[in-house]
Amino acid sequence: MSLVRFLRGSKLLGQCKTIPGETIVEHAIIAGIEIPTNCTSGNCGTCMITLLSGKISLPEPLTPGLDEEIISEGARLGCIGVPTGDVDVDLLPPI
């Protein structure tokens, strides 16, 4: 069973089973965690989180909320990012 784990720094805030096709925001709701959203289409960046481990899908082409530099720092958009397998995310975006 794969898990999506939500952290803030080193503190585990919650987790849930990975559900194929569901976004990080949808997983967060199941885990009782709120990730702020606005546009829900990957354009505004409100839902930006940091991928610590695992794989979260990226849109092709990249949306205005993402660029190569911030992606290399672990940035992913929770409203459109779909996890695969075990994933750990920090609710704070990369600094």
Q: Are strands 11-17 and 48-56 parallel, antiparallel or unpaired?
A: unpaired
What tens digit of pLDDT does each residue of 6-65 get? 999 999 999 999 999 999 999 999 999 999 999 989 899 999 999 999 999 999 999 887
Question: Tens of pLDDT along 48-59?
Answer: 999 999 999 999
In Å, how far are 4, 5, 13 from 10, measured between CA atoms? Answer: 15, 11, 9
Which sequence spans correspond to the domains of the chain? 3-90
Q: Which fold has domain 3-90?
A: Ubiquitin-like (UB roll) (3.10.20)
Task: Give pTM, 2 decimals.
Answer: 0.94
Distance of CA 70 to the CA centre of its chain: 13
Tell me the pLDDT tens digit for each residue of 57-73: 999 999 887 889 999 99
